[in-house]
Structure 1
Amino acid sequence: MTTTATPPATGRGQGAPDLSRGALSMRRRVVNHVASGSIHLALLLAVIPLGLVIWTVLNRGAGVMSLDFLNADIPNSYRREGPGMGPAIVGTLLITGMASLMAIPLGVFGAIYLNEYGKQKPLARTIRLMADVMTGVPSIVMGLFIYISWVLVVGRFTGFAGSLALACLMLPVVIRSSEEMLRLVPDELRQASLALGARKWRTILTVVLPAAISGITSGALLAVARAAGETAPIVIVTGIVFSTNTNLFDGSNTALPAQIFRNASQPFVGAQDRAWGAALTLIVIVVLFTIVSRVIANRFALKER
């Protein structure tokens, strides 16, 4: 009796891909390395411009920084060299602070209504639409709106007009970012609080907001950073001063972005040096705001047990 030799089973036909464990493992490692390399390359490409900007500002602005630069009045002639930026620093803190006091609480309350009460009601949908539209409005248009509706009505330039313009720019950012953070809070937390007998407002105050405070703070910080760097509304509605004015409701005012724009557009060395120093000061202020906001967020956020 003759026997026919049977070829060993390989688990795959002629020309079929190698699906063995070793081949799959090697392929996954190669794909993983390629993806990781692409991510690191993209990160490097994103960091390079940021690093160049920071290095240039530090290199050009550090030599201008001094105690007099932070405290002295602004020279009333662009031809003059020397400090300072004291009125612009005070004006930036006051104008941005007032805008934050108006926009952040109102934006968070609006987000609470949209996510916790309004849901898909017509009013909630209208608010979302208007917030999306306001997010894309150019800052100069907002400045013109405040100029027509406030400055011309009151009859003078004030720092409060700048705060109104910045608050209008911050509000949609705070609303949309806060709403997205509230959506990420698990419904189980709300249901557990309600099951224990807590009212809805108390659940929102003691459970939902602490769980989302980190993201809400980040969104608010993003809005503050945008407001602190806006130039057009400040130039249009606040006027110009060379000495410190701490009253937002009486008299003109100024801020660091406006001084950066005015001094950088001049051909004089002293004015350009002041512009670089003002840019470095603005970056430091934003960084300090970031650190403070992170500390506050970590302090009030819910901790995992």
Structure 2
Amino acid sequence: MARREGLRRRERRVVRRRRLGRRIVGAAMTGATYGAAAVALVPLFAILGMLVVKGAGSLDLNFFIKASVPLGETGGGFAHAIVGTLIMVALAAAIGVPVGVGAGIYLAESGGAKAATIVRFVADTLNGIPSIVIGIFAWTWIVRPTGRFSAWAGGIALACILAPIVARTTEEMVRLVPNSLREAALALGYPRWRTSLQVVVRTALPGIVTGCLVALARVAGETAPLLFTALGSLYLSTDVNRAMAALPLQIYSYAVGPYDEWHRQAWAGALVLILLVLALGIVARLVTHRKAYG
């Protein structure tokens, strides 16, 4: 009896030690996870803090409704750059989103077809190409033949960046749709194309929209392609056949300029651009949250 009691006490001590060890390891891993998350957030908050400190003071109504002013004068704003960014991002979306969504649906629904393998390889290659190379490509095939810089060229260059991102995101979202939905639709007599469009795509639509918004946030901050295509402008213009300003271009131009007023407005423009990108990211998260809990 005494021996059994001793064995039981020993077993209880071993169990307590193991529980304590698991708790310590769990607490350490939880702390490491929170620490890693904090480290990841430090650059974001550091950038936002610097932009707010240096740029918020230059944000007023004139910044949003007025274009730039002649050299040496104070005041003016970024209205031309904001309008130009919205126009070129809209052009990129009009071109790149349909192409990307269509390609993504084809990649997800075509199985292991050779053509799908080629399309997937092209999309992955385009995702890895530096944006400045895409800008040079657009300059060679659009700007030089037409003899002018234009918002169209900038929109097409941005669409070349946008489309492969949307394609791969759409493919992943469509693949997440359960096969049981496809099989049920086919069993009801739906043709395959109708099943893909009315059942699969409708189910995956929130994820597809999220991917499109994330891709738009990515291209909204691109500078290099626009240097070779849209070039930039100091005037407010909505003519897509001519050179046009954009937030990244105007920020770069003012940041390297010699005037303090330009530097202040460059910080303010950078703050507006970051807020625009964050807004698109927040909308994307809301769409995802609605899909998960709505």
User: Which residue of the other structure, out of 271, 277, 283, is the alignment partner of 1:286?
Assistant: 277
Which of 229, 242, 255 is residue 237 of structure 1 equivalent to?
229
Question: Counterpart of 2:47?
Answer: 53
Shift of residue 122, structure 1, vs aligned partner:
1.2
Question: Number of paired residues?
Answer: 293
Matches within 5 A, 1:148-227: 148-227=140-219
The answer to which of 290-299 and 27-36 deviates more is: 290-299
Question: How do residues 93-112 of structure 1 correspond to structure 2 at under 5 angstroms?
Answer: 93-112=86-105
Question: Deviations along 1:110-135, whole A, 9 cap, x unmatched?
Answer: 01101112x21111111111111111
**Counterpart AA for 1:63:** G
Deviation at 1:185, TM superposition (A): 1.6
Q: Does 1:28 align with 2:22?
A: yes
Q: How many percent identity over aligned positions?
A: 36
Is the 1:173–1:223 Cα contact (8 Å) retained in structure 2? yes
Instruction: Determine if contact 2:232/2:246 at 8 Å carries over to the other structure.
Output: no
1:142 to 127, 131, 134: 134
Question: TM-score w.r.t. structure 2 length?
Answer: 0.91
Q: CA deviation at 1:240?
A: 2.7
- The answer to whether the 8 A contact 1:83-1:274 is kept is no
Instruction: Output the TM-score relative to the length of structure 1.
Output: 0.88
Mind listing any 5+ residue stretches in structure 1 that lack a counterpart?
none
**Whose helix fraction is larger, Structure 1's or Structure 2's?**
2
Q: C-alpha distance in 1, partners of 2:293/2:22?
A: 37
**Counterpart code for 1:178:** T
How far 1:164 moved relative to its partner?
0.6
Distance 1:302 1:34, change over 3 A: closer
In structure 2, relative to structure 1, the CA distance for the partners of 1:37 and 1:242 (3 Å cut) is: same
Offset at residue 294 of structure 1 (A) = 5.1
Q: Distance in 1 between matches of 2:45 and 2:172?
A: 30
Distance in 2 separating the partners of 1:18 and 1:192? 55
- TM-superposed deviation, 1:291: 4.5
CA 1:277–1:303 in 2, change beyond 3 Å: closer, same or farther? Answer: closer
> Mind listing any 5+ residue stretches in structure 2 that lack a counterpart?
none
Corresponding residue for residue 10 of structure 1: 7
**1:190 partner SS:** helix
Change (3 A) 1:63 1:147: same
Give, in angstroms, the shift of residue 222 of structure 1: 2.0
The answer as to 2:59 corresponding to 1:73 is: no
Distance 1:126 1:157 in 2: 32
- Alpha-carbon distance, 1:246 to partner: 0.8
